[in-house]
Amino acid sequence: MTESPVTPRVRVAWPLRPSTSPPIKPLPHESVGKGHTRLLGRNLRLDAGDQSCTALASGAGHREAGEVAGVSERTVRRRLEQSAFQEQVAVQREQLISRTTDRLTGLSGIAVDTLSALVSSDDTPPAVRRRAAMGILATHRVWRDAGEIEDRLRLLEQEFAIAATEQSEGSR
């Protein structure tokens, strides 16, 4: 059985565009003195909170985030007990992932062209050509699988929406 080629379902963003992600919203706070704010009932330095939040969103541990922000590991842990701070870390992490995905999508065309040139060129050493070919095949499988999963998910969502509509109409 011949497999039909699957085109990856991605936005092509070349040349690279600025992120379309919404700007990061500051945590709710009020000024309580020079360089300090009140956040969820605790006096915290806003700049230190923002720095630790950004560090945590970027994958830093509690100790590293505290060092970046100039606060203790305990302070970072205490802030993470606050739901608003947890939410801010999650929002910043999602925005970071979105921006990174946009950049990688924009570069994917160049990467494919580079691999294609390596595989096609007689000047490329055989070992490099083999590695490039293996990379192409592995990447193709990932894109194909992702496309199939996306198609299946879309069908399930449609079936769920139809079933929900039928159920709501039947209960009237």
Q: How many whole angstroms separate alpha carbon 5 and alpha carbon 57?
A: 37
**How does pLDDT run across 64-79, given as a tens digit for each residue?**
999 988 899 999 999 9
Question: Is residue 12 situated within a structural domain?
Answer: no
Contact 109, 13 (CB under 8 A): no
Question: Is residue 84 situated within a structural domain?
Answer: yes
How much is the average pLDDT of 158-171? 88
Long-range contacts of 76-84 (CB under 8 A, 24+ apart): 76/52, 78/42, 79/44, 79/49, 79/52, 79/53, 80/56, 82/39, 82/40, 82/42, 84/27, 84/28, 84/39, 84/40
Question: Is residue 77 situated within a structural domain?
Answer: yes
Q: How many whole angstroms separate alpha carbon 78 and alpha carbon 82?
A: 7
Tell me the three state secondary structure of residue 27.
Answer: coil
Q: Range of 53's domain? A: 30-89
Residue 31 in this model has a pLDDT that exceeds 60: no
* 34 and 79 together in one domain: yes
Residue 156 in this model has a pLDDT that exceeds 90: yes
* 37 and 82 together in one domain: yes
Residue 28 in this model has a pLDDT that exceeds 60: no
Domains contained in the chain, number:
2
Planar angle of CA 71, 67, 93, nearest 5 degrees: 95
Last residue in a domain, options 66, 89, 112? 89
Last residue in a domain, options 73, 89, 105? 89
Contact 115, 136 (CB under 8 A): yes
**How does pLDDT run across 113-131, given as a tens digit for each residue?**
998 999 999 999 999 999 9
Q: How many whole angstroms separate alpha carbon 77 and alpha carbon 71?
A: 11
Question: Is residue 44 situated within a structural domain?
Answer: yes
